[in-house]
DNA sequence: CTGTCGATTATTGTCGACAAATAAAATACA
DNA sequence: TGTATTTTATTTGTCGACAATAATCGACAG
């Protein structure tokens, strides 16, 4: 698994290595390619990327800043665990952000925003049709971020993006539990939300977003209460 | 300003240097000791703290991750500017967090939480009495964080803490504009909020928090629209 | 006098090596 | 045979030096 051919990229630009390592590790962690608890070895990464430990270290510091890896002083560093204990508090925050961003979108969107939103919705529907779990996660996030953008509050958008990223691992578990048979229902709910936004009905948009979010959260909670094996596996 | 006597701490423990530099720079930035735009020189800091550039660099990476410093590649790094353009979006987020945390506190607090909250309120009142602006910022944040803790949602508490930290520089400008003659009104509003929490009246707690937050925001906006010199000064 | 080009300089990004710290292994001892 | 202690090994944290890059300064042409 360590024999990825990187001999084809012998030349790197100064300063690009950190970002490359950071992005790659981040994706691998969030997509559960590196499951929680996986050891992160600096020397190994240094060899793999043909660079010194210094830039590797910088990437790891950034990942640690986002809470994606845990570093015990002078000892090993590993992929951080998914916090199942505080999961409900996370979901509360997620529901709130769903509501707020959708409500603001209904209030402040412009006509051109709707085109972007509908395009994202079409992509999500396509992912659902194709039964591609990873694409569903990505396009769903893109759709809701497009809605958030239409709300014209960059701060909320940033918070929301952060929140979605943090939950990506949980969503990954959720969607893969579906075995890629998937919820057409989400597509319909999205359609209703978009309609409410277009009608500038803030209250209805808020309500629909709440129902939509709580429904997803409820299903995820069902999954984790039904299937305790996941706790052991991680 | 660079001749702080650090000769008295010749011995540092392995790994403590990064945290020391990080904490110090963070405080200096947030308290406007290092105003926005101040250059950050690695070599200078290395000499000042009698350590290599490597740990300095790690501290800077973390600060950059929080957006407190801006790093242009291969060139200088400086204290980041306060984002006055998106300030209103920040305030919206702040108001929302004030409301949510206070509402949750009314719903979920335990009796022992109230003791902590009242202690923080007393400290805030003392800071107001003493006309100590920095202490007011700190104790006000501590009070609202205590309320957030009582809401029993660690995720919201974390978000709120982050938000308050990010706004610390703006609040610093605000409070110092008061010339330390200060709003007894805030103390009273806090009292009302605490009473609503104690009575477990979520709606009233939410309403009071909203009024409280919007009132502060309004005053800050007044300050910045009245006093455009601040834009130039930074 | 002004603008462009090139050399100098200053600062960052990266490297390889060493030192400190901890865990694991090996050894001594009861 | 089991436990305590020493030794070894592995990995992290730190250092000083070097390489790359952009700003600065100055020479020179217009």
If DSSP states are collapsed to H, E and C, what string results for B13-66?
CCCHHHHHHHHHHHHHHHCCCCCCCCEECHHHHHHHCCCCHHHHHHHHHHHHHC
Interface test with B, best of A15, A57, A58, A61 (most B CBs within 10 A): A61
Is 90 exceeded by the pLDDT of residue A38?
yes
Judged by a CB distance cut-off of 8 A, whether residue A96 touches chain B is: yes
Q: Give the span between the Cα atoms of A30 and A17, in whole angstroms.
A: 20
Mean pLDDT is lowest, of B4-18, B165-179, B201-215, for: B4-18
Kindly report, as residue ranges, where domains of CATH 1.10.10.10 are found in chain B. Answer: 16-79
pLDDT at residue number A34: 96
- pLDDT grade for A3, boundaries at 50, 70 and 90: very low
Give the minimum alpha-carbon distance from A77 to chain B in angstroms, rounded to a whole number. Answer: 14
Fold of B16-79: Arc Repressor Mutant, subunit A (1.10.10)
A15/B73 touch (CB, cutoff 8 Å), yes or no = yes
Is 50 exceeded by the pLDDT of residue A15?
yes
Give the minimum alpha-carbon distance from B74 to chain A in angstroms, rounded to a whole number. Answer: 8
Average pLDDT, chain B: 89
The reply to whether A88 Cβ lies less than 7 angstroms from strand D is no
pLDDT at residue number B229: 54
Query: Which nucleotide across the nucleic acid strands is nearest to A52, CA versus C1'?
Result: C15
User: Span A111-130, mean pLDDT?
Assistant: 95
> What is the phi/psi pair of residue B13, to 5°?
-80, 150
Q: Give the span between the Cα atoms of A79 and A68, in whole angstroms.
A: 6
Is 70 exceeded by the pLDDT of residue A160?
yes
pLDDT at residue number B1: 38
A86/B62 touch (CB, cutoff 8 Å), yes or no = no
The reply to whether B14 Cβ lies less than 7 angstroms from strand D is yes
pLDDT at residue number B180: 52
pLDDT at residue number B51: 95
Q: Give the span between the Cα atoms of A222 and B10, in whole angstroms.
A: 56
A86/B57 touch (CB, cutoff 8 Å), yes or no = no
Is 90 exceeded by the pLDDT of residue B172?
no
Question: What stretches of chain A adopt beta strand conformation (E)?
Answer: 39-40, 69-71, 77-79
User: Span A212-231, mean pLDDT?
Assistant: 80
Interface test with A, best of B15, B17, B61, B154 (most A CBs within 10 A): B61
Judged by a CB distance cut-off of 8 A, whether residue B107 touches chain A is: no
The two counts, helices (H) then strands (E), for chain A are: 11, 3
User: Span B112-125, mean pLDDT?
Assistant: 97
For residue A69, the SS3 value is: strand
| B179 alpha carbon, distance to own chain's centre | 19
Query: Which nucleotide across the nucleic acid strands is nearest to B18, CA versus C1'?
Result: D13
Give the minimum alpha-carbon distance from B225 to chain A in angstroms, rounded to a whole number. Answer: 20
Is 70 exceeded by the pLDDT of residue A234?
no
Judged by a CB distance cut-off of 8 A, whether residue B75 touches chain A is: no
Interface test with A, best of B77, B89, B217 (most A CBs within 10 A): B89
Q: Residue B119 carries which DSSP code? A: H
pLDDT at residue number A19: 95
User: Span B152-168, mean pLDDT?
Assistant: 94
The two counts, helices (H) then strands (E), for chain B are: 11, 3
Q: Which of A 162-221 lie inside 8 A of B, CB atoms?
A: none
Question: Which residues of chain A have a CB within 8 Å of the CB of B96?
Answer: 96, 100
- pLDDT grade for B4, boundaries at 50, 70 and 90: very low
Give the minimum alpha-carbon distance from B8 to chain A in angstroms, rounded to a whole number. Answer: 25
- pLDDT grade for A11, boundaries at 50, 70 and 90: low
* Contacts A–B by Cβ distance under 8 A: 56
Is 90 exceeded by the pLDDT of residue B19?
yes
Is 80 exceeded by the pLDDT of residue B183?
no
Judged by a CB distance cut-off of 8 A, whether residue A10 touches chain B is: no
pLDDT at residue number B169: 92
Q: Give the span between the Cα atoms of B219 and B234, in whole angstroms.
A: 20
- pLDDT grade for B191, boundaries at 50, 70 and 90: very high
- pLDDT grade for A181, boundaries at 50, 70 and 90: low
- Which tens digit of pLDDT belongs to each residue from B62-72? 999 999 999 99
pLDDT at residue number A182: 61
Domain range B87-233, CATH class = mainly alpha
- Which tens digit of pLDDT belongs to each residue from A182-210? 678 899 999 999 999 999 999 999 999 99
The reply to whether A43 Cβ lies less than 7 angstroms from strand D is yes
pLDDT at residue number B227: 64
User: Span A26-54, mean pLDDT?
Assistant: 95
Give the minimum alpha-carbon distance from B14 to chain A in angstroms, rounded to a whole number. Answer: 9
Beta carbons of A223 and A183 less than 8 angstroms apart: no
Question: Which residues of chain A have a CB within 8 Å of the CB of B59?
Answer: none
pLDDT at residue number B78: 96
| B138 alpha carbon, distance to own chain's centre | 7
Q: Which residue of A has its CA nearest to B87?
A: A155
pLDDT at residue number B131: 85
Kindly report, as residue ranges, where domains of CATH 1.20.120.530 are found in chain A. Answer: 87-233
B155/A93 touch (CB, cutoff 8 Å), yes or no = yes
Query: Which nucleotide across the nucleic acid strands is nearest to A60, CA versus C1'?
Result: D12
Q: Which of B54, B65, B89 sits opposite A153 (nearest CB)?
A: B89
């Amino acid at each position: 698994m360590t024999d990825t051919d990187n001999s084809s990229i012998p030349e790197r630009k100064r300063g690009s290595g950190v970002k490359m390592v950071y992005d790659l590790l981040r994706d691998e962690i969030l997509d559960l390619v590196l499951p929680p608890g996986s050891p992160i070895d600096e020397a190994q990464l240094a060899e793999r990327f043909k660079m010194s430990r210094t830039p590797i270290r910088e990437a790891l510091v950034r990942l640690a800043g986002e809470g994606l890896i845990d570093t015990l002083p002078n000892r090993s560093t590993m992929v951080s665990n998914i916090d199942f204990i505080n999961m409900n508090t996370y979901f509360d925050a997620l529901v709130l952000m769903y509501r707020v961003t959708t409500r603001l979108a209904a209030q402040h969107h412009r006509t051109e925003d709707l085109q972007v939103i509908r395009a994202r919705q079409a992509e999500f529907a396509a992912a659902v049709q194709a039964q591609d779990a990873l694409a569903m996660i990505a396009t769903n996030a893109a759709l809701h971020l497009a809605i958030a953008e239409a709300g014209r509050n960059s701060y909320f958008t940033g918070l929301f993006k952060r929140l979605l990223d943090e939950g990506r691992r949980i969503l990954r578990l959720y969607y893969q539990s579906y075995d890629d048979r998937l919820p057409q229902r989400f597509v319909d709910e999205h359609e209703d939300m978009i309609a409410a936004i277009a009608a500038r009905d803030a209250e209805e948009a808020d309500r629909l977003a709440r129902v939509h979010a709580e429904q997803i959260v409820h299903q995820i909670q069902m999954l984790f209460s039904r299937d305790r094996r996941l706790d052991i596996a991680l």
